[in-house]
Each structure stands twice: as C-alpha cells, then as structure tokens.
Amino acid sequence: MVGNGWAVMSRARPVASMGAAMSLLLGASLTPTAAVAHDVGITSVARVFIDQVDERRYVLSIVETGLPPLDDASGLLPGHCRLSETGRARPMRGMPMVPTLPFACDRELAVDDVITLPWDLAGVVAVVRWMDGSEASAYFRGRGRSVTIRLGDLRAGGGSRLGLARRYSVLGAEHILFGIDHLLFVLGLLLLVRGVGALVATITAFTVAHSLTLGAAVLGVVTVNRGAVEAAIALSIVLLAREIVVGHQGHQGHLGRRSLVHRRPWLVAFLFGLLHGFGFAGALGEIGLRSADIPLALLSFNVGVEAGQLAFVTALLALHRLIGGSVRSRAPRLEPALGYALGALATLWFFDRLPGLV
C-alpha cells in the first residue's frame, strides 16, 4: 500500500472538480507528451499514464506532485499482473522525472481488467498509450478511499464506442438533473409560456441553441471565459424571473402590452440557450476526449441532456396535473411568488460568480 507519509486528502465535490478534470484532460488528451504536473491538493484530480511496452509489459507513471509512488501491487493491479521491478523515478517524454510502476501480466490487459488506486481523491484522469500507437483517456470518479480505472473504458474496439456513448449520455443526464441553474431556467420557461404548442417551440429552441454552442466550444471554434458564462447564466434566470412577475401583472390587466419575452418566448429561449450551451461544455471535462470520439461524444451528451430535461419537464407537468385542483385558487399568488424566489436566488448566484470574471 501507500507509505505512511501519505496524508489523506479531503475529497472535492464532483461539481468543483469538473473544471480541474477539464483542464487536465485537455492537457492529457491533446498534448500528452507535454503535460505539466499539478498539485492534487488543489485540484483533487490526479493523472496517471499507462504505457504498453510490449504485449504483456506496462509502465504506470504518476504525473502529479503530492502523491507517493505505489510500491505494492496488492489490490492495485489485476490478479494476473505483478510488479516487474521496484518503482522509481524515470524521465517521461517532455517531462522531468516522475514516479513509475513497471508491471508485467500473464496476458495482455483486457476490457474486464481494473487498476485500483488507493487514493482519496475526487477522481483520476488515466491516459493509456497502447503498443500499436493508439491513445485513449478517460476520467474516473473517486469512490471513497480509492479510484478504480476500468481498462474497458480505455480500450479500442467495437465495444468501446457503445461504452463511450453510454458514459456521455449518463454524464449529460447527470449534468442537467444536478445542474440547478439549468433546471431553474427550464422551470422559468414553464412558468412563462402559455399553451402546449408554445412550450414545445420554446423548449426546442433552447435545445437547438445549446447544442450549437456546446459543439462550437468543444471543437474549439469559440473560446469563452467560463466565469463570464456562469455569471451570464445567472442573469438569464433573473431576467426570466422578472418576466414571470411582469407577465402575471399583464395577465391581470395591469400592463397594456406584453414584452417580446412573452410574445416570442422561443426567441428568448434560443438566445439564452446559447449561453447555457457554453455552460454545458465544461461538463465534458468529466470524461476524456479523443478527436475521433468528439462527434459521438457530443451526440451522446446532448441525448443525455435532453433525456434529463424531458424527465424534469414531465415530472413538473405530472405534479401540476396531480395537485392542480388544490392550488388553482392560489395560482394568482403562487406564480409571482415563484418568480420572486427564482429572481432572488439567481441574483445571489450572480454576485457569487462575479469574482470569476477576473
């Protein structure tokens, strides 16, 4: 196991580690030979490289600072693998000396093999460079006091495409369902839009818009300041909340003319969807990207986002139908109250995210 000098780190929250994983993956996937070591005490995300030397021999290299070498294969390597020599620091392509762990296996690593790292971290970015010259990378979340690297997620072949689609679909669904700001924006649209046809058009416009900017950001066509995007997303919810309150007043006859947001909600959803797409792009750092995998990854991530979004909308509509009778008499007071609550929360988010602009 790891030496006694190893101090257990507190695990970063998955959302907090998302940006760290994104930057590490970009460095690992796009420029693996010029990676720079990071302090895992800050990011709580480490990188390891696995190089296949020949058919049955491998070298595991630890890139980050703050992590001791792994000198014991007990519980670390697959059962058919063993240390071939004591781990020591070696030069790595484009890098200074890094701790390494050479090991040999009775057969070539297969899709059902795992490497378990005894580290209490938010996650690990694993980069594999196979003997045939192909490379693969993926992000693996921490599970308690260990991180499990599944070789099946890093192997080339027919099964990996299905695995890639599954991982990105799940990631997209998780991001929308656990991304409270995106969910509240969708909730605001539901409160604002009247009629099923208008609701379908509005949600569709939001979907098309965030798909466009998500693709543009991942492909590197557009580069934006992440802090500015997050602050702008909070402002989009503030504007939506204002329109919910104003729209209620107009519905009650206090306003003579409805705003563009009420007359063309799909247009507003499209414009703000462009912002939310840049926000979604950050989540793709959760799992490694190779250039050949980008089209399928984008498609799968969008499918996951839309599945999560559809599940949320369906749940809200079902809840409304279930309790609609009991709250209908209170609707004139409930709708503006929700608008004020959304606006207050989004305003707090905006000021909280302002430091990210610099």
The secondary structure of 192-232, three-state, reads HCCCHHHHHHHHHHHHHHHHHHHHHHHCCCCCCCHHHHHHH
Contact in structure between 9 and 67 (CB atoms under 8 Å): no
Backbone dihedral region for residue 94 (phi beyond 0: left; psi -120 to 50: alpha; all else: beta): left
CB 127 within 8 A of CB 135: yes
C-alpha torsion 257→261→266→270, nearest 10: 150
Phi-psi category of residue 134: left, alpha or beta, with phi > 0 → left and psi -120 to 50 → alpha: beta
Residue-level pLDDT at 220: 74
Which pLDDT belongs to residue 256?
A: 44
Distances (CA, A) of 211 to 179, 207, 294, 299, 305: 16, 6, 13, 9, 10
pLDDT computed for residue 153 by the predictor:
76
- Residue 132 has a CB neighbour count (10 Å cut-off) of 7
pLDDT at site 25: 43
User: In tens digits, what is the pLDDT along the chain, a chain of 358 residues?
Assistant: 333 222 223 333 343 344 444 444 444 443 344 444 445 555 577 888 999 998 889 999 887 767 766 766 678 999 899 888 755 545 445 445 677 889 999 988 877 789 999 888 888 888 888 887 878 888 888 887 889 998 877 764 434 577 778 878 887 888 888 888 888 888 888 888 877 788 888 888 988 998 898 888 877 788 777 788 888 889 989 988 888 887 765 554 444 455 666 778 888 889 888 988 888 776 665 444 556 677 888 888 889 988 998 899 888 888 877 776 544 444 456 778 888 999 999 999 899 988 877 6
Do 101 and 83 touch, CB atoms closer than 8 A? yes
Rounded distance, CA 144 to CA 162, Å?
27
Residue 74 pLDDT: 74
Burial group, residue 330, by CB count within 10 angstroms (0-12, 13-18, 19+): exposed
Give, as one character, the DSSP assignment of residue 39.
B
